[in-house]
Structures are given as C-alpha cells and as structure tokens.
Amino acid sequence: MTSRKTELLVGIFVALAIAATLILALQVANKGMSGGGETYELTARFDNIGGLKARSSVKVGGVVVGRVEKIYLHETDLIPVVVLRISEAYKNTFPDTSSLSILTSGLLGEQFIGLQPGFIFPEDIVRISEDKVCETTDKSDCPYLTDGEEIIDTKSALVLEDLIGQFLFNQGSE
Amino acid sequence: MSQVANYFVKLGRSAIDTIGAVGQASLMLFGALFAFPKWKNVRLTIAQMYVVGVQSLLIIMVSGLFIGMVMALQGYTILVNYGAEGSLGPMVALSILRELGPVVTALLFAGRAGSALTAEIGLMKATEQLSSLEMMAIDPLRRIISPRFWAGVISMPMLAIIFSAIGILGGHLVGVDWLGVDSGSYWSIMQATVDWNQDVVNGIIKSFVFALVVVWIALFKGYSCIPTSEGISQATTQTVVFSSLAILGLDFILTALMFGIN
C-alpha cells in the first residue's frame, strides 16, 4: 500500500503551505515589526492634511519613528486633528519645540509627516539631569514630548491649487 | 391557448427542478459536512488531499511563478515612465494577494481537481458503485463525498497561499534580479503597504469561500449526473463552467465587501 508515501507527500504539502504563510507574514506583510512594540501618543492640529491617511508614517530625517493612528475633525474648531503613535524607543528624545509638517515622498508618492526636532534650552538640560523632571509622574515640566502631549507648531500639506492661486495673485499685483 | 399553457408548464417544471436541485445539493453538503469526525474518514481525507492538493501543486506553483513574473514585467514598463519603479513591490504583492492568488488558484483548481472529482464520482454512479455501497449499508456521502469535500476545502487555501508567495518571489526575480529595481525598496515599500489582516487574511478568506463553492459544485454535479457517458461528460463541463462563473461573481461580491467600502 502506498499510504505511507501519500501521507509523506501530504505532509510536505502542508509544510510548504506553512512556509509560504511565514514568507507572507514576515517578508511581505512584516507583521512581526509593525504590530508590536510599545508606543506613546501625540496629537497635532493641522489646517489641512491633504492626502494624509491613517497608517501613514512619521519620519525624522527619513527614519520612520511612528505612524498616524487616526485622523478626525475637531468638534467645535472644525480643523483636522491627527493622533500619532511614536515608538517607545524614541521616548524623551524629541523636544517640546519640535515641529510637524506634511510632506510628500517623491512627485507621485504618498504623504507622510515629517518631524523636525526642536531645541532645548541649556537651563532645561540642567533641570533634566538635576531635578529629574522627566522621571516624575507629572510630565508637564518635562521639556520633551511625552504621552498625550500636543504639538503646537505644525505646517499644513501643500495644496497645489492654493499654490497656483497664490502664484497668479502675485503675478497680478506686479 | 394550449401553447400558452405549455409554456407555463415548462416554466413551472424548470422552477421545481431548480429548487429541487438546490435542495438536493444542500442535503448532500449537510451530509458531507457532518460526516467528518471519524478517524477512518481522516485517513481517507488525507489520501484525497494527495489527489486534490499535492497533485495540483505543480500547476499552481508554475502558474504562480509566471503570473508574478508577468506582473513585474508589465508593472515595470508602466511605472518606470513615472520614475516610480520602487512601487513595483506593493503593486505585485497587493494584486496577487488580493485578487490573482485566490481567483487564479480557484480557476485552476476547478479545471484541474474539480473536473476530476465530477468525472470520478459520475463514473462511480454510472458503474453503480455508489448503489453497491448503499447495498452494503455504507453511506456513500460519508465514505466518498465527505473526504473529497474536506480535502478540497483544506487544500485550496493552502494552494492559494503557496501561489501568492511564489508569485511575489517571481516578481522579485524579474523586477529586482533582471530589471534592476532596488531590492531594498521592493521589500520595504511592500512591507509598509501590505497589511496582514487587510490583505493577507482577506485573500485567505476569499480562497476558502471559493474552495467551498468549487468543491460543492464539483461533487454535486458528479453525484447528480445522468449515469451515462454523455451525462458524465456534460456534468464535467458544467462543473468547470459553473465553478468559473461562481468564482468570478463571488469574487466581485467579496471584493466589494472587503475592499470596496471604506
């Protein structure tokens, strides 16, 4: 009876399917990296988010440090609010004075958020090392961006129509 | 007047036949679904997985490889005009994972395994093997239909996963190794774009639904065929035609449900 050979081949078939699933999970969808990992949350208000979507990346000088969690319209101010999730590896890294801008990768690429790190006053550096303001439960004194904090300095997405309108307006006034 | 009456008689008869066939098919499906938990049937199912799954492996793998390679070649010639050949990875991966993987696998499976199942069971019926089993108090639904049904439903999603993985590797072969797209951007942009739940799992769900439909049609067409050589050939043809139409129709509905609204 060839039953044993049949079972062997079916076993190889199943193993092949599992290997293919692993390829899809790790190499194609990169499930291991994107899903896990501790993160903290930041919010930011923009005048116009252009084509930004949930899951767009947040980059610092081209390095991905987080992703857009969700985008919603503020109830009374009627401007878009963007919630960002930044990797815990970059905790206490970006100063309060950092700014966000919505950028486009390439001519036709998708839009992402560029984080431009700000500066820290010398006296703040002293406060961090001596008073340990970033290690207490109350984070409001910490000069770094912490969980739940809002980034004030934001630049909206570039909207081509506005840009052309501005250009024509400038041409007319000359 | 009698012609009009005849017309309505015909209409009524075809309606009754159709509903009867749906009922019969449902009864057969019910019988096959609930005949699984028996150790002997597991052995029979594994034997059928060899026939249905392992023997389909070659055609699935070769088609996957070539479809991935063609996708990469076609995509590259268009994307390179916009300087966007870095997006080749997500283009190949998404189109294969979401559509081509499940659909082409199901079409090939219907042609390769579905037709064979219909012909096999049709011939069993024509040579009265099914009746003989019943004479021996063995339920043919349990002994013949159920193992084949489960073997098909288990095998096809696995075949679709293998198809997708090989297709994407085939895209890499042409896009990166031949046409010179950067290997890093092929994988990294793919990883940034492809979502496990949204794309991979939905593709597997699709192929699972196709598997149910294809195997059900194939088995029912064989089980209910007219037991003559002509009837078997007709049933085999119908299996391939109906399965293909069902796959393409269902694919649209599933795509609309999974990716359409958002």
The predicted complex's ipTM stands at 0.77
What percentage of chain A carries pLDDT values higher than 70? 87
Give the mutation candidate from A8, A10, A22, A33 for the B interface (greatest B CB count, under 10 A).
Answer: A10
pLDDT digit string, tens, across residues A56-76: 788 898 888 888 888 899 999
pLDDT digit string, tens, across residues B58-95: 999 999 999 999 999 999 999 888 878 778 888 999 99
What percentage of chain B carries pLDDT values higher than 90? 60
- The average pLDDT across B201-211 equals 94
List chain B residues with CB under 8 Å of A6: 46-47, 50
User: Can you give the pLDDT at residue A125?
Assistant: 78
Q: Do the Cβ atoms of B200 and A10 come within 8 Å?
A: no
Chain A closest-CA separation from residue B227 CA (Å): 30
A43 vs B41: which has the higher pLDDT = A43
Q: Do the Cβ atoms of B161 and A17 come within 8 Å?
A: yes
Tell me if chain A has a CB within 8 Å of the CB of B162: yes
- CA A169 from chain centre, in angstroms, equals 35
B82 → closest Cβ in A20, A21, A108: A108
Residue for token digits 């990296």? Answer: A33
- The average pLDDT across B108-130 equals 93
Distance CA B262, CA B258 (A): 9
What percentage of chain B carries pLDDT values higher than 70? 98
Q: Do the Cβ atoms of B164 and A20 come within 8 Å?
A: yes
Q: Give start and end residues of each alpha helix (H) in chain B.
A: 2-33, 39-52, 57-79, 88-95, 101-109, 115-126, 129-135, 140, 146-172, 183-193, 202-223, 229-255
User: Can you give the pLDDT at residue A34?
Assistant: 47
Q: Do the Cβ atoms of A107 and B164 come within 8 Å?
A: no
A6 → closest Cβ in B50, B166, B168: B50
A9 vs A109: which has the higher pLDDT = A9
How confident is residue A33, by pLDDT bands cut at 50, 70 and 90?
A: very low
- The average pLDDT across B238-251 equals 95
Q: Do the Cβ atoms of A24 and B187 come within 8 Å?
A: no
Q: Do the Cβ atoms of B200 and A24 come within 8 Å?
A: yes
Q: Does A110 have pLDDT greater than 90?
A: no
A10 → closest Cβ in B50, B165, B191: B50
List chain A residues with CB under 8 Å of B49: 10, 13
Tell me if chain A has a CB within 8 Å of the CB of B94: no
User: Can you give the pLDDT at residue A36?
Assistant: 52
Structural contact between residues B189 and B89, judged by C-beta atoms closer than 8 angstroms: yes
Q: Does A108 have pLDDT greater than 80?
A: no
Pick from B101, B94, B88: which is nearest to B173 by CA? B88
Average pLDDT in chain A: 81
Tell me if chain B has a CB within 8 Å of the CB of A6: yes
List chain A residues with CB under 8 Å of B194: 28-30
Q: Does B123 have pLDDT greater than 90?
A: yes
- CA A89 from chain centre, in angstroms, equals 13
B222 vs A25: which has the higher pLDDT = B222
Distance CA B109, CA A121 (A): 68
B170 vs B260: which has the higher pLDDT = B170
Chain A closest-CA separation from residue B46 CA (Å): 7
Q: Which of residues 77-136 of A touch B (CB under 8 A)?
A: 106-109
Average pLDDT in chain B: 89
Q: Does A155 have pLDDT greater than 50?
A: yes
User: Can you give the pLDDT at residue B65?
Assistant: 96
pLDDT digit string, tens, across residues B107-118: 999 999 999 999
Tell me if chain A has a CB within 8 Å of the CB of B201: no
